[in-house]
Amino acid sequence: MKQKKLAIINDVTGFGRCSVAVMAPIVSAMKIQAVAIPTAILSTHTQFPEYFFDDYTPKMRDYIQTYKNLNIEFDGIATGFLGSKEQVEIVIDFIKSFRKDDSLVLVDPVMGDYGELYATYTPEMCQKMKELVQYANILTPNLTELCTLLDVDYGDGKFGMDELGDMCRELASRGPEHIVVTGIPFHKKQIMNYVYSKDEETRIVMVDRIGVDRSGTGDVISSVIAGMCMNGHNFYDSVRKAAEYASKCIRYCEEYQVPEHWGLCFEMYLKDLMED
Ligand code: PXL
- Encode the chain (276 residues) as per-residue pLDDT tens digits: 899 999 999 999 999 999 999 999 999 999 999 999 999 999 999 999 999 999 999 999 999 999 999 999 999 999 999 989 999 999 999 999 999 999 999 999 999 999 999 888 899 999 999 999 999 999 999 999 999 999 999 999 999 999 999 999 999 999 999 999 999 999 889 999 999 999 999 999 999 999 988 999 999 999 999 999 999 999 999 999 999 999 999 999 999 999 999 999 999 999 999 987
Instruction: Give the ligand 1 atom nearest the CA of 47.
Output: 10
pLDDT, tens digit (0-9, with 9 covering 90-100), for 94-150? 999 999 999 999 999 999 999 999 888 899 999 999 999 999 999 999 999 999 999
DSSP bridge pairs for 77? 7, 105
The answer to whether the CB of 216 is under 6 A from ligand 1 is: yes
The answer to whether the CB of 38 is under 6 A from ligand 1 is: no
User: What pLDDT, on the 0 to 100 scale, is given for residue 1?
Assistant: 81
DSSP bridge pairs for 44? 15
User: What's the CA gap between 143 and 147, in Å, rounded?
Assistant: 6
State in Å: Cα 6 to ligand 1 middle: 20
User: What's the CA gap between 60 and 11, in Å, rounded?
Assistant: 12
Could you tell me the CA-to-CA distances from 97 to 25, 197, 227, 254 in Å, in that order?
26, 26, 22, 43
What are the phi and psi torsion angles at 273 (to 5°)? -90, -10
Closest CA to 235 of 250, 247, 222, 216: 222
Query: Which residues have CB under 8 Å from 33's CB, separation 6+?
Result: 3, 4, 5, 6
Instruction: Determine contact, residues 183/209, Cβ cutoff 8 Å.
Output: no
User: What's the CA gap between 56 and 38, in Å, rounded?
Assistant: 7
The answer to whether the CB of 214 is under 6 A from ligand 1 is: no
DSSP bridge pairs for 94? none
The answer to whether the CB of 16 is under 6 A from ligand 1 is: no
Tell me the whole-structure pTM to 2 decimals. 0.97
